[in-house]
Structure 1
Amino acid sequence: MTAIDTRTDVTSLYAEVQHFYARQMQLMDRRDFEAFAATFTEDGEFSHSPGQLARTRPGIVAELVRFHRRFDDDPVVRRHWFNMIVLDPQEDGSLRATYYAYVINTRPGSEPQPGPVCVVTDVLVRTDGVLSNRSRHVRQDRLLLEP
């Protein structure tokens, strides 16, 4: 892992992170879970639901397969939208990205329906010159409102 240089062109770094997320989430939305997991470090961790934490690429794939079984008999197209990305360099050379995520579900014959709205915190690192997720933690807004 090499440090992410945030002293140089911040605009280029921001664009690179957005491009990384666009590719990553298109993999998720196509249910290409192996390719999605490959965007994480070997020891990466992924938490998308309360009480759930997947570690390592194979663990991430297994969790996504398990989670998406609920859609096996549901002809739904799910799209993930990321926005309002804030990038904060960390002392260890990683980059913390905090952003909003919005999921939209579309089914045949119906209008798109909103899914969860979330705040996501990622730790991004550069491995062999390429951005990777070291961790992702998703917090659904609806859970912030529960007592």
Structure 2
Amino acid sequence: MRYVVRFPVDDPELSALHAAAFEGELDVQPWAERLERWALTWVGAFSNDQLVGFVQVCWDGGAHAFVLDTAVHPDHGRQGIGKQLVLTAAEEARKAGCEWLHVDYEPHLKAFYEDACGFRPTDAGLLKLR
């Protein structure tokens, strides 16, 4: 497995990975444009040059960064790819000067983010805007 930071993004390829990982319909999104504009960094996991995992980190330009869109293709799950993606992204955020790395996750991902990746639970709030 090869992990690449800030790899050149192919919108259809990343959209297909996202759809497979989240069991959704394929809807090609402008990933490359969004990442260049809003992300501090992103990491791809590649198997034989095929994108099989992805995570991005957005930030506030200061101390806080945020993990988003952690995705591993179901055919490559349970191999430590997601953990390595998140840990690589965390190291990139640390090198950029961030002090805190935040992540929101659903209850079924608690063991992954807390036990495997080392996040600690905190109180947080959420406001639905649409």
Superposition TM-score tier, normalisation by shorter sequence: under 0.3
Which structure has the bigger radius of gyration? Answer: 1
Structure number with the higher helix fraction is 2
Question: 1 or 2 for the larger relative contact order (CA 8 Å, sep ≥6)?
Answer: 1
Structure number with the higher strand fraction is 1
TM-score, normalised by the number of residues in structure 2: 0.27
